Amino acid sequence: MNKIYHFPSEFLWGGATAANQLEGAYREGGKGLSIADVLPGGKVRLELLAGASFNFEIDKEKYVYPNHDGIDFYHRYKEDIALFAEMGFKAFRMSIAWSRIFPNGDELTPNEEGLKFYDDVFDELHKYGIEPVVTISHYEMPLHLVKAYGGWKNRKLISFFERYAKTLFERYKDKVKYWLTFNEINGAIHFPILSLGFLPDNKNTRLQHIFQALHHQFVASSLAVKAAHEMIPDVKVGCMLIYAPTYSFDCHPENVLHALQEGRIFNYLCGDVQVRGEYPAFAKRFFKENGIEINIHDGDLELLKQYPVDFISFSYYMSRTVKKEKSPEEMTSGNIIGGVKNPFLKASDWGWEIDPIGLRIALNELYDRYQKPLFVVENGLGAYDKVEEDGSINDDYRIDYLREHIKAMGEAIEDGVELIGYTSWGCIDLVSASTGEMSKRYGFIYVDKDDQGNGTLERRKKKSFYWYKRVIETNGKEI
Ligand code: BGP
């Protein structure tokens, strides 16, 4: 007998995306260039993210740029939203491209065409009763802010972001209740280029710059919470973390201590500031030992304390196993952060270890720590899909992955965790953030496009489409 899980009646089932990975139309509607527009697809992207030198220019002779056209959601959003509605989505997580609203990021007035586009998207969602969950900044700050200001190292970015967030709240106050400030804010500790807008430079200043820039984002996030609460009744603003429970490779106390230390810097430092409203005690020693001195202005700490987030959203793809002394052969890759191979886990084709129990652990750890509602806003399996001769796509591997993770959420709810929703990543195939590939697919909906940009962009329902529809229809009782 299959166990029946009890999800709350208002549970927000749905899917998640990010503007730069699906919209395309990178120069239409008055949009400015963003950091995502200059990142090429393929292996070279990972090298850039890891810190290779880079001039932030587009070079179409040398590289392909899959984000430029994405999957053309910009022109096909009605068709796509109709498919989400057919699956019964209660929520759709999407992001707003900052450079559609403020093409350079530092203008005083927004671009009306950009604002209008999202009005139309939200109206289309509401037509089907789908709740938008909107990330304000998802790996795509305006390129001008990178080039002219050095990205988030520069404190001026706080006021640009505040203006941008207030513009969104004012415009969409009747259409959007759930907002997330910065996507995977802690991911910047490893890959600052995507969200902080600068290259990780020489080792001495790397962490100094990253944590100074993060401090600016924390302040910006609190200002956004403040503004949202002043401007929108019943609004909910969340932080967004990458969460990877950190396992010790074995029970050697040195390794256990190492896991504790690694885990809390990566998983908790940002969350503690955004949720509890203050830097955690362990940060002080970490900052001291790494020569990090954060320039904190008068009033910053009070602001952080006064305006913490209302809920915690996070992405969960994998756990992470760590060991104090390790050799390169022991390592595995993963979502932004890697670790040593866990002998008990299998991995995806991209080396991301698959660990549904880790999601239950993540939910419990986060709830124990923060006691605030949780929202899983990303989770899923990036895999190669095959279109059969009859046109079907039998992605049982994806169904198995999602089923086990949904069960883990059901168990966590029984453990007492307050979980408000689940939006699986890339509900429609889109461009991968880490590799720029199309062939790393997550969707319930197949999109005909390859890594070189060829294809008809035709949408096709996979087997998982019908399966997820049933999950939502039964509120997680039939998985
Ligand atoms: C997260 C990002 C997403 C997304 C996802 C999957 O880190 O927030 O933007 O892309 O991971 O990663 P990838 O696309 O590299 O497979």
pLDDT of residue 233: 92
d(CA 438, CA 279): 39
Residue 478 within a domain: no
d(CA 395, CA 443): 10
Residue 217 within a domain: yes
Give the closest residue to 430 by CA, choosing from 68, 119, 21.
21
Contact 374, 362 (CB under 8 A): no
d(CA 465, CA 80): 13
> Percentage of the chain surpassing pLDDT 90?
91
Residue in this structure with the two tokens 């089907």, named with its chain if needed: 128
pLDDT of residue 335: 59
Phi/psi region, residue 394 (left: phi>0; alpha: psi -120 to 50; beta: rest), is: beta
Q: Which atom of ligand 1 is nearest to the CA of 139?
A: 9
The pLDDT tens digits of the residues spanning 341-357 come to: 999 999 999 999 999 99
Total domains in the chain come to: 1
Beta strands in 379-444 (DSSP E): 419-425
d(CA 294, CA 194): 21
The pLDDT tens digits of the residues spanning 375-415 come to: 999 999 999 999 999 999 999 999 999 999 999 999 999 99
The residues lining ligand 1, judged by C-beta closer than 6 Å to any ligand atom, are 18, 21, 139, 183-184, 315, 335-336, 378, 382, 425, 432-435, 440
Beta carbons within 8 Å of 454's beta carbon, 6+ residues apart: none
Host domain of residue 290? 12-473
pLDDT of residue 245: 97
The pLDDT tens digits of the residues spanning 194-236 come to: 999 998 876 778 999 999 999 999 999 999 999 999 999 999 9
d(CA 10, CA 124): 21
Give the closest residue to 238 by CA, choosing from 136, 141, 168.
136
Helix (H, G, I), strand (E, B) or coil at 427: coil
pLDDT of residue 330: 79
Ligand 1, pocket-test mutation among 318, 432, 435, most atoms within 8 A of CB: 432
Residue 4 within a domain: no
Of the listed 184, 262, 353, 437, which one is catalytic? 184
Give the closest residue to 102 by CA, choosing from 145, 58, 57, 66.
145
β-sheet bridge partners, residue 422? 13, 376
Residue 360 within a domain: yes
Does the pLDDT of residue 91 top 80, yes or no?
yes
Helices and strands in the chain: count of H runs, count of E runs? 16, 14
Q: Which one has a higher pLDDT value, 258 or 329?
A: 258
Distances (CA, A) of 105 to 7, 33, 121, 146, 392: 41, 10, 22, 10, 43
Q: Which residue, by CA, sits nearest to atom 12 of ligand 1?
A: 433
Q: How far is the CA of 268 from the centre of ligand 1 (A)?
A: 20
Beta carbons within 8 Å of 461's beta carbon, 6+ residues apart: 83, 444, 445, 446
Residue 3 within a domain: no
Q: What pTM, to 2 d.p., does this model score?
A: 0.97
Question: ∠462-77-376 over CA atoms, to 5°?
Answer: 65
Residue 248 within a domain: yes
Q: Where are the alpha helices (DSSP H) in 9-65?
A: 19-22, 43-50
Residue 282 within a domain: yes
CATH number at residue 215: 3.20.20.80
Does the pLDDT of residue 476 top 80, yes or no?
yes
Residue in this structure with the two tokens 């302040």, named with its chain if needed: 219
Residues in the chain: 479
Distances (CA, A) of 38 to 112, 146, 199, 269, 426: 24, 11, 13, 30, 21
Q: How far is the CA of 284 from the centre of ligand 1 (A)?
A: 30
What average pLDDT does the segment 139-154 reach?
A: 97
Does the pLDDT of residue 41 top 90, yes or no?
yes
Q: How far is the CA of 66 from the centre of ligand 1 (A)?
A: 15
Ligand 1, pocket-test mutation among 315, 385, 451, most atoms within 8 A of CB: 315
Q: Which residue, by CA, sits nearest to atom 3 of ligand 1?
A: 433
pLDDT of residue 42: 85
Residue 6 within a domain: no
Q: Which atom of ligand 1 is nearest to the CA of 382?
A: 16
418 is catalytic: no
336 confidence band (pLDDT: 50, 70, 90): low
Does the pLDDT of residue 173 top 90, yes or no?
yes
184 is catalytic: yes
Of the listed 23, 378, 411, 437, which one is catalytic? 378
Does the pLDDT of residue 143 top 70, yes or no?
yes
Q: Where are the alpha helices (DSSP H) in 88-111?
A: 98-101
Q: Where are the alpha helices (DSSP H) in 232-334?
A: 253-263, 269-271, 281-289, 300-306
DSSP symbol at 374: E
Q: How far is the CA of 299 from the centre of ligand 1 (A)?
A: 35
The pLDDT tens digits of the residues spanning 450-459 come to: 999 999 999 9
